[in-house]
Amino acid sequence: MGEQQRPVAVITGASSGIGLDLAKLFAQGGHDLVLVARNEEALRGVAAECERFGVKAHVLAKDLSDPGAAQEILDELAARGIVVEVLVNNAGFGTHGAFAETKLEEEVGMIQVNIVALIQLTRLFLPGMIARRSGKIMNVASVAGFVPGPYMSVYYATKAFVLSHSVALAQEVKGSGVIVSALCPGPTKTEFQKRAKIAESKLFKKPRSMTSMEVAKAGYEGLMKGKMIVVPGFSNKVIRVASKVMPRGVVARVAGKMNRDR
Active site residues: 155
Asked if residue 170 lies in contact with residue 180, where contact means CB atoms within 8 angstroms, the answer is yes
Peptide bond into 185 cis (omega under 30): no
What are the E-state strand segments in the chain?
8-12, 32-37, 57-61, 86-89, 135-140, 178-183, 188-189, 210-211, 229-230
Q: Could you say which DSSP state residue 204 is in? A: G
Pairwise CA distance, residues 52 & 66, whole Å? 32
Number of C-beta neighbours around residue 167 at 10 A: 17
SS3 content of the chain, % helix, strand, coil (to 5): 50, 15, 35
Is residue 215 helix, strand or coil?
A: helix
